[in-house]
Chains A and B, each alone.
Chain A
Amino acid sequence: MSTLLKVENVTIQFGGLVALNDVSFSIEKGSVLAVIGPNGAGKSTLFNVVTGVYKPTSGRVTFDGTEITGRPSYEVVERGIARTFQSSRLFSDLSVLDNVIIGMHTRTRTGVLTALFRPGVARREMDECVRKAESLLKLGSGDLFEQRYRPAGTLAQADRRRLEIARALASQPKLLLLDEPSVGMDETETDALVSDIIRLRKENPDLSVILIEHDMRVVDAFPQHVMCIDYGSRIAEGDYATVRADPRVQEAYLGKAAVHA
């Protein structure tokens, strides 16, 4: 297996605050990495560095053999990294279907001149997008397809998370970054989410997934590769059992006193 994403010694500072401190890790093609850690540990910041929202103060990010450190977000998506946001950022005044179609932006070509002077070409491309978007909506758990003409802002919480994943998949990514996808889901919905991810990997054996999760049920479902971050530093990495047993991880989650008690 080959390395898809490689993060080397990434440090990022906001003013005096060190949000990430010398973090390194890599992920293989077709594998899942679960990132855990307390709130404010820097997990989302890691996503933001990888996807080009923030430029790291130092360090390198390499994706699929190309260095992408500090490249703009839109270029990173084009190369094949898609993400969801912790506080689902949908285009709330647009329909569910439009949200997914916008996700295909990097896989479509229509420019102003094509749209104006070759409407047939533009229309065919759009029809194709609609078709793909509808099948993406049918694929996952929930009934997003039935709600495809609703404004995304009116969806229930679980559906919002599902739609974010569908929108991210629309860009045909090689690497999918999911930022706490189970937030706001009940147990049944979380289980459905886990089986969605499992099915997705079965259908696309090359797809890699990085998951930020608080819900240990989800992490437990992908136990092979887990990384724990605290105060911006990587404190443990390995399979779930190892990471869970690591005293520093327990300390980070439970506090020093509890561990030594």
Chain B
Amino acid sequence: MAELLVQQLVNWITLGCIYALLAIGFSLIFGVLNVIHFSHGDVAMTAPFIALALVQGSMAVVGVTGPAWLLLAVVVAVLAVGVIGIALDKIVIRRFRDAPAMMALVATVALGIVIRELIRHLYPQGSNPHAFPRLVSGMAFEVAGVSVSWFALLVVAITAILVTLLFVFLRMTALGLRIRAASEDRVVARMMGIRDSRVFRATFFIASAIGAIAGLLFASYAGVTRFDFGVMAGLLGFSAAVIGGLGSMPGAILGGLIIAGIEVLAQTFVPDGASYRLVFVFLLVIAVLIFRPAGLLGRTVMEKV
């Protein structure tokens, strides 16, 4: 029993970190633009395809392969997805920042369809699942008879590093302060002229690149990637961000851990829980929003009358 618990604990933390990274992107973009970027999950899931294409491309052209190439491909994919994020903002999302919330929601849902279909058409045999390698393999150490993989450690380490970097960036740099100002008080930010394109570019680059890392980790965790993984990744990341409280970074992390926790709990303790895991996840989402309409760590904004 203890082994099972430890094993599930490791799974929970791994999955929770991945969801948290996805949720951070949703939260960051919502904070700055007040727009839900529903296709953020799809943007994130383009990363494993880009990495795979690079690895296969390099093998075909240069004829070499190996961990170094994989690492390089991953880094390039993350940067590329960051740029894709900026482009999507420029072409589509930015136009909806002052539109009714529903318009932005539907537009980004459609954007998600477009991204998925593009992956499917542009990637060779894009409709099929493609195996994705573990970024690191092997077991790091053993706790209570359970070996903890290097991969789990990697996920936790990356998340910790990214969250720290993001924290430092948002607190210590001029650009980060402007992003925070823009997300904390939109009216003041607008008056101060902060809503310039640099803030948007930076926000989308960071959110999309972090999303890309989450996408790569997710594909690596699942051992496989598919063009339509973005739907669930998006829904779960969005849910995590919302129950944590949109716009709140600690909320996004908390939300990610909660969602992953419910998933793991359902799979472990409920008979046939694996098939019902989404039911549990979304029932929890509903319950949280009924009792905490602005999310767990979100601030309730009182409308001035």
Contact = CB atoms under 8 A, between A and B. Distances in A.
Whether chain A touches chain B in the assembled complex (some CB pair under 8 Å)? yes
Interface of A: 14, 44, 48, 53, 85
Contacts of A53: 305
Contacts of A14: 302
A190 to B, nearest CB: 24
Nearest to A53: B305
Interface string B263-305: 0000000000000000000000000000000000000001001
Interface string B141-179: 000000000000000000000000000000000000000
A53 B305 CA distance: 8
Interface of A, secondary structure class, is mixed
Contacts of B305: 44, 48, 53, 85
A207 to B, nearest CB: 23
Interface residues of B, number: 2
A157 B305 CA distance: 19
Contacts of A44: 305
Contacts of A85: 305
Nearest to B303: A53
A44 B302 CA distance: 15
A6 to B, nearest CB: 22
B301 to A, nearest CB: 12
5 contacts: A14-B302, A44-B305, A48-B305, A53-B305, A85-B305
B98 to A, nearest CB: 16
Q: Lowest 5 CB-CB distances: which A-B pairs, in order?
A: A53-B305, A48-B305, A85-B305, A44-B305, A14-B302
B105 to A, nearest CB: 20
B65 to A, nearest CB: 60
Nearest to A51: B305
B292 to A, nearest CB: 18
Nearest to A89: B305
B103 to A, nearest CB: 15
A14 B302 CA distance: 10
Nearest to A85: B305
A178 B305 CA distance: 14
B285 to A, nearest CB: 28
A85 B302 CA distance: 17
Nearest to B302: A14
Nearest to A45: B305
A53 B302 CA distance: 11
A73 to B, nearest CB: 10
A227 B88 CA distance: 57
A19 B305 CA distance: 13
B304 to A, nearest CB: 9
Contacts of B302: 14
A44 B304 CA distance: 10
A235 to B, nearest CB: 23
Nearest to A179: B305
A85 B305 CA distance: 8
A119 to B, nearest CB: 31
A14 B303 CA distance: 12
A141 to B, nearest CB: 27
Interface in B177-228: none
A132 B125 CA distance: 68
Nearest to A14: B302
A85 B304 CA distance: 11
A85 B303 CA distance: 14
A179 to B, nearest CB: 9
A142 B291 CA distance: 48
A19 B130 CA distance: 62
A199 B242 CA distance: 53
A117 to B, nearest CB: 31
A14 B84 CA distance: 44
A8 to B, nearest CB: 22
A82 to B, nearest CB: 15
Nearest to A86: B305
A53 B304 CA distance: 10
